[in-house]
Structure 1
Amino acid sequence: MSLRFSRLFFVALITACAATGALAAGAAKTTKAKAAPKPALPTLVWRGDYATARAVVDDVAKAYEKSGKGRIEVQPFNTVSGLEAVEHGLADVAGSARGSAGGTESDLVFTPVAFDALVMITHPSNAVPNLTAKQLHDIYFGKITNWRDVGGKDAPINLYAVASPGDGVEYSLRRLIFGRGNQPVAAPRLYVNTAKLEEAITLDPNALGVTTLSGVATNSKVRMISVDGVHPSLATVTDGSYPLYTPIYLVTNKNNPKAAQVDAFMDFLHTDQVRALARQHQLVPYADAPQLAANDQARRAKLLSESGLKMPAEEAVPGMQASGH
C-alpha cells in the first residue's frame, strides 16, 4: 500500500467514525426527547345541548386549553343526553338551558353561569313582527293555528319543537308560558335538538319555533320575533325588559373522581376573560345580573297572568339558586 493511499484511507476512516458518532448522538437525543414527552393536559368531557355549546362552551374550551389549565372535550347533542352522561360518569360537565327537573337530577349540582334569551324564530319572509305571551300560549296549546290570527298572512302556523320534553330550551319556554315545563304542546314537527330545528325553519316560510339568542343572533337565515313588544338582545335581557330569559347552567356530579379538575374549570368560568366571551355571544354573565334572578318570580307570575294562569306552588325556578361555588 502506498504512503499516499494509506493517508487517504486513514482520513476516510476518521471521517466515517466521526459521522457515525454524530448520528449516534443525534439518535440518542431523539430517543431521549421521545422518552420524555410533554405531560398531557388533564381532560374533562362536556356534553349537553347545542344551544349552550354554541353559546359559549366552544370558545371557553379553547381559552381554557390556551391557559394551560386543561382540555375540554366538547360533545354537543341535547340536554337530556348531557345530564344522563354526567349522572352515570360518562361526562364531567353538562350544559343545560333549564334547572333540575327533580328525580335523579336532584343528585346533580346545577350551577347558573349566564342568562340567555329564549327567542321565537321564523323564516325571514314572514313579516309578523311581534307575538304576545298570550298568543304564544294559544299557539303552543293549539288554539291559534293560522298566521292571519296574529297579524300575518292567511297560512298555517307550522310549529316546530325539540322532541325531548326534557330539552332545556323547550322546558324553560313551556314553564314560562304554561307554568310547567312538561306541558304537552301542539307541535307535530319534532327535531333532536335546536340546531336541527333551526335548519328546518330556514326552509319553511310558515315556520315557528324556539331557540336561544346566543344561537341565532348572527344567523340571517332566520328572523327573531319580538315578544310583548320587546326585541331580544343583550341589552333587553340585561335590563329584564325582554320577558323570555332563562339561566344557562353547567351541571356536575359531586361524586365525580375528577372533582378537583372540575372545580378548577368552574373557577375559570368566573374570570373576566370568560365573562367577556359570554357577552360576545349575547349572554349576560350570571353574577352581573342579580336583579334577573331576584325578579324571576314576579316576571313569571306576570307572564302566566296574561293567559289567565296562576303561579304554581313552588317558590323559585328549580336550580335557579343552586351553585357549587
Structure 2
Amino acid sequence: MMLRVLLLLALFPFFAVSAPLPLPDQGPALRIQGSNTIGAGLVPALVRGLMEQQGLQGVHSEPAESANEQRVIGTTREGKTVRVEVAAHGSSTGFAALKNHSADLAASSRPIKDSERLALAPLGDLKSPGAEHVIAIDGLAIILNPRNPLNSLNTEQLAQIFNGEISTWETLGGSGAAIHLYARDDQSGTYDTFKELVLNRRGKPLATSARRFESSEALSDAVSQDPQGIGFIGLPYVRQAKAVAIVDGDSQPMPALNSLIATEDYPLSRRLYFYLPPATRNPWAKALVDFAQSDQGQAIVAANGFVAQHVQAIGVAPRASMPEAYQAIARSAQRLTVNFRFEEGSASLDNKARQDVQRVVAYLESHDKLHKQVTLVGFGDAKNDPQRAALLSKLRAMAVRRELVKSGVVLRDIRGFGAQMPVAANTEDEGRIKNRRVEVWVY
C-alpha cells in the first residue's frame, strides 16, 4: 500500500491521497446539478475517477429516470452500494439546486452571477477561494456545416447573425441560402456565455427564429446535417461540424486551438467551474473538487475533450506585427500555456491565478528553471492613456513576480508592453479584461 501511495505522489504531484471517505447510511453520497456542458460527460468521468481512487469496485454510470440525468455507482469490498447523482440541465439550475438544498455541488460553465451570489449568501461567499474552483478551460466553438466555405467570422458578424440582422450566407461571402440558427436553451451556461461574450456586448437579443437545444450533442449534430446551419457549442461537442476561426477587435483570426484556449487568448474561451458552498459539510463534495484539480483529474479533463490546466511550454513564431522586443523573446524562449489576468485597475490575482501560480512553480521545479530562466511579459488595455497602460502592464507582471518569488523563483526579466498586441476588442469590459494579462516565458 505504501508503495502505491508513493507511486501516485510521483505521478501526480498535485494529487493528495486522502483517507477513505465516509459512506452515507442511505441516499446518494453526493448530488451534483448544473451545466449540461460539464455534466453530460466530464462530471460523471471525474466521479468515476474519484470512486476508483477510493477503492470502489464495478464503478459505472447508468441513466436516471429523467433525460440528462445519470447515476454513478460503485460497490465497496463489503458489498455496500455507493451512488452519486448528476443532473445536467444548465448552469442556472445548479445554483437554484444549492439554494433549495437539492444539490451539494454546482457545476457551471460560467461565473456565478451577482444575483445568485447574493441569493446564496446564507451558504457562504460563493466567490471565495474555497468556494469557486476552475476545473477546466473550454472554448465556445462557432460551428457550421462542413460544406460551408467560410473559415472565419468576427464577433460583430456573430452578433448580427444570431440577432437575425444578417440573414443570408451571401451577405458573408458564402452561398445565398438563408441562415439557420441553432442555440442552447435559456438554462444553459453555454448560452449565457455566448450572450455575454457576443450578444450583450452589441446590445442584441437572440433571434426568436433560433432553434433551441438542451443537449449539446443534439445541437452539434443538427448543424452538421444542415448546409445552412450555424450554432455555438462547447469545444468537446464540435463532433462532425466545422469550427471557424474567430476575430475580436484588432486580434488575429484565432482558431479554437488548445494552446489558445489554455491561455484564454481565444476570444470565446471560458472557464468551467465547480461551486462548493462554504457551509457544505459533505466530504464527497470537497473530495471531488480536490480530485478535479489534481493531475489525475486534469488528465480526465483532457480525455473528455476539454483543455486541462497542465502547464506546458510552446513555441511561438515571431510575426512582423509583434513589437521587436517581443519577437526577440519569442526567438529564444518558449511561452507557458497559462495567463494571469486582472480586473479593472487591479493587480490582485483571482482564484484561478492563485492555483496557476502553484502549477507554474511545479513546472519550473520539474524542469530545473527556478533560477533566472523566466521572463514575465505584461500587457494592458489602451483606454485613453497609453502611458498608464504601459505602467499597469509592468505592475501586473510584478504582482505575479511577488507570488513566484515566495516559492523561490528568481526572475530573469520583467517586461511591460502596454496596450500592444491585443487579443480582444478594447471597446467592452470583457475584451479589456482579456487584454490585461501577464504571460510567462521560459528559457
TM > 0.5 fold call: yes
Shift of 1:184: 2.0
Q: Distance in 1 between matches of 2:429 and 2:150?
A: 29
Structure 1: 5+ residue stretches without partners: 1-38, 318-325
Shift of 1:250: 0.9
Q: Which of 225, 240, 256 in structure 2 is aligned with 1:203?
A: 225
Mapped contact 2:265–2:423 kept (Cα < 8 A): no
**Cα deviation 1:7-63 (Å, max 9, x = unaligned):** xxxxxxxxxxxxxxxxxxxxxxxxxxxxxxxx9577211222221124522221111
Structure 2: 5+ residue stretches without partners: 1-21, 56-81, 121-125, 248-252, 312-335, 345-379, 382-421, 435-443
- The alignment covers a number of residue pairs equal to 269
Answering whether residue 203 of structure 2 is matched by residue 191 of structure 1, we say no
Q: Distance in 2 between matches of 1:47 and 1:182?
A: 30
Mapped contact 1:174–1:182 kept (Cα < 8 A): no
Q: For residue 429 of structure 2, what is the amino acid of its counterpart?
A: M
Shift of 1:296: 8.2
Which residue is equivalent to 1:224?
A: 243
Which residue is equivalent to 1:132?
A: 154
TM-score, scaled to structure 1: 0.71
Which residue is equivalent to 2:191?
A: 170
Q: Distance in 2 between matches of 1:53 and 1:133?
A: 28
Shift of 1:72: 3.3
SS at match of 1:285: coil
Q: Distance in 1 between matches of 2:155 and 2:203?
A: 18
The alpha-carbon distance between structure 1 residues 293 and 136, as it changes in their structure 2 partners (threshold 3 A), is farther
Shift of 1:251: 1.9
Q: Distance in 2 between matches of 1:169 and 1:296?
A: 23
Q: Distance in 2 between matches of 1:98 and 1:90?
A: 20
Q: Distance in 2 between matches of 1:235 and 1:54?
A: 24
SS at match of 1:190: strand
Q: Distance in 2 between matches of 1:231 and 1:194?
A: 20
Answering whether residue 341 of structure 2 is matched by residue 294 of structure 1, we say yes
Q: Which of 241, 248, 264 in structure 1 is aligned with 2:287?
A: 264
TM-score, scaled to structure 2: 0.54
Q: What is the aligned-residue identity percentage?
A: 22
Q: Distance in 1 between matches of 2:423 and 2:35?
A: 28
Answering whether residue 273 of structure 2 is matched by residue 273 of structure 1, we say no
Which residue is equivalent to 1:93?
A: 105
Within 5 A, what are the aligned runs for 1:97-116? 97-106=109-118, 107=120, 108=126, 109-116=131-138
Shift of 1:182: 9.3
Within 5 A, what are the aligned runs for 1:1-325? 43-54=29-40, 56-68=42-54, 72-106=84-118, 107=120, 108=126, 109-164=131-186, 166-179=187-200, 184-188=205-209, 189-216=211-238, 219-220=239-240, 222-228=241-247, 229-258=253-282, 260-286=283-309, 288=311, 291-294=338-341, 303-305=424-426, 309-311=427-429
Q: Computing the radius of gyration over CA atoms, which structure comes out larger, 1 or 2? A: 1
SS at match of 1:154: coil
Q: Distance in 2 between matches of 1:98 and 1:293?
A: 18
Which residue is equivalent to 1:31?
A: none
SS at match of 2:267: coil
Worse overlay, 183-192 or 204-213: 183-192
Q: For residue 168 of structure 1, what is the amino acid of its counterpart?
A: G
Shift of 1:293: 4.8
Mapped contact 1:112–1:286 kept (Cα < 8 A): no
Name the one with the larger helix percent. 1
Mapped contact 1:233–1:282 kept (Cα < 8 A): no
Mapped contact 2:342–2:433 kept (Cα < 8 A): no
The alpha-carbon distance between structure 1 residues 310 and 232, as it changes in their structure 2 partners (threshold 3 A), is closer
Q: Distance in 2 between matches of 1:264 and 1:168?
A: 24
Q: Distance in 2 between matches of 1:287 and 1:294?
A: 17
Q: For residue 172 of structure 1, what is the amino acid of its counterpart?
A: T
Shift of 1:82: 2.2
The alpha-carbon distance between structure 1 residues 64 and 224, as it changes in their structure 2 partners (threshold 3 A), is same
| CA RMSD after TM alignment | 3.2
